Structure 1
Amino acid sequence: MTPSTVQEVFDGMPGAFRAHKAEGVQMVFQFHITGDESGDWSVSIADGQCAVNPGTHPDPTTTLTLSDKNWLKLVAGKLNPAMALMTGKLKIGGDMMAAQRLGSLFKLG
């Protein structure tokens, strides 16, 4: 099932987490989603565990900003992350290499 709302994506992230790919990983993804379903969520990875929380984290490793529609397309595999970044549909702040690990840490879409 492909999530149809931004909240469904974040609710499903703990179940989509690939703990075996996160050994020794300590990072926080901060998502700033704009549009009709706007909001902020932090996704913390530590000790092979994943925690998703609404709101902002005081010290994220990387921050991803994109619209609700583009986030849903990205998760569904209908928007290439590199293309989204190059065309300004996705903005990344902080550690760019950490942002690139998102796809390997979660099985989304």
Structure 2
Amino acid sequence: MTWLPLQQIPDQTADLTRRNDAVLRDEMMKESMRFCLATATIFTALSLSAGGAQSNEADASTPQQVFDGMRQSFKADKAKGVHARYQWELSGPNGGEWWIDVNDGTYKMGKGKIENPSVTFITSDNDWVAMSNGKLKGTWAYMTGRLKVHGSQAIARKLDEIFP
């Protein structure tokens, strides 16, 4: 066994700590990138599903108009086998709560709260309408704290397929 002089031990410990910090930083960066990519996918889907229904008519100006437009775009074949409950909590003068319950190729939609939502979207009425009309990117709204999402990312991504 080789014994090191005491003055060399702190240097080796510092080197090991720096290497561990670098590895940890790299892993955190990779995880952050995976999260950002998944988040971007969700919000692209969210923006497309809400905005697609309005593409042939004037932009929606209220959340209710957005949800009415979504009714027109429902794809029953894409909703086969899907069981999801979506909740929106919108603040502001035209805000309120809306929900969509997708159940194996059918859906129900309404105002108010739904029990045990799979995904909850929280934002302002103006931001929801802007995202729906393609004037505000969902990813940007999320990254800046203007949109909060609670629940399953996989179910959130299905929204674009069900309501294109």
Q: What TM-score results when the alignment is normalised by the length of structure 2?
A: 0.61
> Is 1:33 matched up with 2:86?
no
Alignment of 1:68-79 (within 5 A): 68-79=125-136
Identity of aligned residues (%): 36
Calculate the aligned-residue CA RMSD, in Å: 1.3
Q: Which amino acid aligns with 2:70?
A: M
Secondary structure at 2:80 match in 1: coil
> Is 1:47 matched up with 2:101?
no
Secondary structure at 1:101 match in 2: helix
Residues 83-102 of structure 1, C-alpha deviation per residue, up to 9 Å, x if partnerless?
22111111001112222222
Aligned to 1:59: 116
Distance 1:30 1:3 in 2: 19
Does the CA-based 8 Å contact 1:13-1:52 persist in structure 2? no
Corresponding residue to 1:80 among 95, 115, 137: 137
Distance 1:96 1:77 in 2: 21
Q: What TM-score results when the alignment is normalised by the length of structure 1?
A: 0.88
For these two proteins, the number of residue pairs brought into alignment is 107
Distance 1:46 1:106 in 2: 14
Find the structure with the greater CA-based Rg.
2
- Report the structure, 1 or 2, having the larger helix content: 2
> Is 1:89 matched up with 2:146?
yes
- Report the structure, 1 or 2, having the larger strand content: 1
5+ residue gaps in structure 1?
none
